[in-house]
Amino acid sequence: MTVSPPLHIIIINLFGAPWSSDVRLDGQTAVITGANTGIGKETAIDLAKRGARVILACRDMEKAQTALTEIIKSSGNDNVICMKLDLSDTKSIREFATNLKLNLLINNAGVMVCPYGKTADGFEMQIGVNHFGHFLLTYLLMDLIKSSAPARIVNVSSMAHSWGAINLEDINSEKSYNKSKAYAQSKLANVLFTRSLAKRLEGTGVTTYSLHPGVVQTDLWRHLSAPERFFMKIAKPFTKDSAEGAQTTIYCAVEPSLEKESGGYYSGCAAANCSAAGKDDELAQKLWELSCKMLSLSWD
């Protein structure tokens, strides 16, 4: 199994309906993980142009500083800062999540089909960064987000969730490891987390969204195998650049018609169908309980 998308999905990706909005975000604060490159950086530029105070939450501060300069120049908004955040280290996450006030949390950072490795806390790298890291970050920022309502939490998933499964008995892939299956599992976890979170946030003024950004040309491709890279090279004319790939993230962050919607899955700047597993409330609850146990949290 590979992460290469079917041709019909690539074609849909190319001809997706355009979306635009003139919504302003003056006086609001947005945190974007993985904002130094790709979709995250393009999202930061867009939100900064709308007047938001943008916090770039990045692991590599040298790259973050370079991105910061580019974002300020492109947006004309100098109310942009970068802060250290390593989602593979719970200590870093806890240090980051202090003294913040925000209206938008965009959980964008991720790793894709990487060789087997573990985070600082012993989690398999893909489930650790893509799910557990963002789960903990969201938990630590929740009171701040609620106090800033109306607010939104946007989780960048992938169509790869559709062929994913949650292995509750071996969430860290210690018994066997397939990098594509581990990635798909982590992206399904994003969808299930969004669904569970929406139910817990009913009536708070905080809404949640998960999304597929499209088949995007980003640094995440660096771990693809040679055959996968060859396929993606052929398919490149049908893929999106980072600015195009950021549009559904921005849509979920600012589109006024979504104010009363929560927990849904989006693609191409529109509501979309997720997999049957992505709608499994029993599985979502089990994953929530396991996540709390793995991170030593009490979050009902």
Catalytic residues: 183
CA-CA-CA-CA torsion sign (45, 47, 51, 56): negative
Give the whole-angstrom CA distance, residue 52 versus residue 29: 6
Contact present, 197 and 138 (Cβ < 8 Å): yes
Burial of 241 per CB tally in 10 Å (0-12, 13-18, 19+): middle
Query: Which tokens hold the place of 60?
Result: 């590599």
Look at residues 1, 52, 4, 3 and name the one whose alpha carbon lies nearest to residue 24.
Answer: 52
Element containing residue 261 per DSSP (H, E)? none
- Distance between CA atoms of 206 and 191, rounded to whole angstroms? 17
SS3 content of the chain, % helix, strand, coil (to 5): 45, 15, 40
Of the candidates 159, 158, 105, the one whose C-alpha atom is nearest the C-alpha of residue 130 is 158
3-state class (DSSP) for residue 82: strand
Rounded to a whole number of angstroms, the distance between the first and last alpha carbons of the chain is 36
The structure tokens listed for 145 are: 């987000």
* Residue 72 region by backbone torsions, left for phi larger than 0, else alpha for psi between -120 and 50, else beta: alpha
Question: What ranges in the chain are assigned the alpha helix state H?
Answer: 7-14, 38-49, 61-75, 90-96, 125-127, 134-147, 179-200, 226-235, 242-245, 247-254, 281-294
